[in-house]
């Protein structure tokens, strides 16, 4: 049955890239719950149709549409933006969430092909989607949001190139915020720390047991964040409540960027408990399914 609830994104249209799994799936669900219509974007092998079906089952027909393709290809990125405008008549929010975490290892052991794919998926796709969305966002005085990372601020050992791509996003989006402000377009970064998705578990990604344990130990709150917790910050920044926020980097990282040593081990049991979520997420840990990833560790 369609939901009657309207929220702070009522009437807005959003493109969410990487929206079929992990944090992106949570963003899509949260945005629709808050009243937005969403173009759910993912790669060809991602469960895009599943997410669209779940959104329409919960909130009614027409709240979501799907788009599958590699957004690091310019023609595909341009077609993605055009699809959103054709389907919903306008564009208010671009969420550059898509990205990859494909390899772990020291620099001398880092696979060059994985490096090239990481640059293409994490950097080129963000540039191209932003480039083609901006003309529409200028018309709506809209918002560009992008997935940074605590690794973009402080680096990350055993996947230094990944941290480098996120540092680019931090700087790029701030530059976009500066130049596009005169058109009324805002641009901000959401920088997650270790989140409970495919990327942070050795069973579903390239991290090993040591990295998995260190992630939690180095986080003052002593736990992984949830995809829903990150999505909540995106919803705020996409809304008119954040009308005076631009060029900002919002850390959603449990304090890992200020952590010193294994501080997470000192967290109480209550602090370590993940909050419950009402979002009907089915693909939180599927972000690397059907994708090539490896480790030299």
The domain that contains 115 carries what CATH number?
3.40.50.720
Inter-CA distances, 208 with 198, 279, 297, Å: 12, 29, 7
CA distance 100 to 287: 8
218 is a domain residue:
no
The three-class DSSP label of residue 166 is: helix
Q: What does DSSP assign to residue 190?
A: E
pLDDT one-digit tens code per residue, 63-116: 999 999 999 999 999 999 999 999 999 999 999 999 998 999 999 999 999 999
Alpha helices in the chain (DSSP H): 22-33, 48-59, 74-88, 112-119, 125-140, 150-154, 160-180, 209-217, 227-238, 269-272
pLDDT one-digit tens code per residue, 31-44: 999 999 999 999 99
Task: Place 294 in a pLDDT band, splitting at 50, 70 and 90.
Answer: low
CA distance 175 to 180: 8
Please name the residue that has the structure tokens 């959603």: 252
Q: Compute and round to an integer the Cα radius of gyration of the chain.
A: 18
The three-class DSSP label of residue 165 is: helix
The terminus-to-terminus CA distance of the chain in angstroms comes to: 49
Q: What does DSSP assign to residue 195?
A: B
- Among the listed residues 162, 234, 250, 293, the single catalytic one is 162
Q: Is 162 a catalytic residue?
A: yes
269 is a domain residue:
no
State the pLDDT at residue 1.
Answer: 45
111 is a domain residue:
yes
Please name the residue that has the structure tokens 């180095």: 218
Its pTM stands at: 0.87
293 is a domain residue:
no
Query: What count of other Cβ atoms lies within 10 Å of the Cβ of residue 292?
Result: 12
For residue 98, what are its two tokens? 């898509």
271 is a domain residue:
no
282 is a domain residue:
no
Name beta bridge partners: 104.
Answer: 295
CA distance 188 to 237: 7
100 is a domain residue:
yes
231 is a domain residue:
yes
Query: What count of other Cβ atoms lies within 10 Å of the Cβ of residue 243?
Result: 11
Q: Residue 131's domain spans which residues?
A: 13-198+226-259
CB 25 within 8 A of CB 283: yes
Query: What count of other Cβ atoms lies within 10 Å of the Cβ of residue 240?
Result: 10
Asked whether residue 3 carries a pLDDT value surpassing 60, the answer given is no
pLDDT one-digit tens code per residue, 188-236: 999 999 998 875 787 867 778 887 888 889 899 999 999 999 999 999 9
CB 149 within 8 A of CB 194: no
**How many domains does the structure of the chain reveal?**
1
Inter-CA distances, 165 with 152, 219, 244, 287, Å: 7, 22, 27, 18
pLDDT one-digit tens code per residue, 122-152: 999 999 999 999 999 999 999 999 999 999 9
């Amino acid at each position: 049955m369609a939901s009657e609830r309207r929220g702070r994104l009522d009437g807005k249209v959003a493109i969410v890239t990487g929206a079929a799994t992990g944090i992106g799936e949570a963003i899509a669900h949260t945005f629709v719950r808050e009243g937005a219509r969403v173009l759910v974007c993912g790669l060809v092998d991602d469960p895009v149709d599943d997410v669209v079906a779940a959104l329409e089952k919960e909130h009614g027909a027409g709240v979501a549409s799907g788009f599958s393709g590699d957004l690091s290809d310019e023609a595909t990125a341009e077609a993605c933006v055009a699809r959103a405008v054709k389907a919903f008549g306008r564009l208010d929010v671009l969420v550059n969430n898509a990205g990859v975490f494909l390899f772990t290892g020291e620099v001398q052991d880092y696979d060059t092909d994985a490096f090239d794919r990481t640059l293409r998926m994490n950097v080129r796709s963000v540039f191209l989607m932003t480039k083609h969305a901006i003309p529409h966002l200028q018309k709506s005085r809209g918002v560009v949001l992008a997935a940074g990372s605590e690794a973009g601020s402080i680096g990350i050992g055993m996947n230094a190139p990944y941290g480098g791509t996120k540092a680019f996003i931090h700087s790029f989006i701030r530059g976009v915020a500066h130049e596009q402000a005169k058109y009324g377009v805002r641009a901000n970064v959401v920088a997650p720390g270790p989140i409970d998705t495919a990327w942070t578990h050795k069973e579903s990604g390239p991290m090993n047991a040591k990295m998995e344990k260190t992630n939690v130990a180095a986080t003052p709150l002593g736990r992984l964040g949830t995809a829903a917790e990150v999505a909540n910050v995106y919803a705020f920044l996409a809304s008119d409540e954040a009308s005076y926020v631009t060029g900002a980097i919002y850390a959603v990282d449990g304090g890992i960027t200020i952590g010193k040593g294994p501080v997470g081990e000192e967290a109480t049991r209550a602090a370590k408990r993940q909050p419950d979520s009402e979002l009907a997420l089915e693909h939180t840990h599927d972000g690397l399914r059907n994708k090539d990833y490896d480790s030299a560790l």
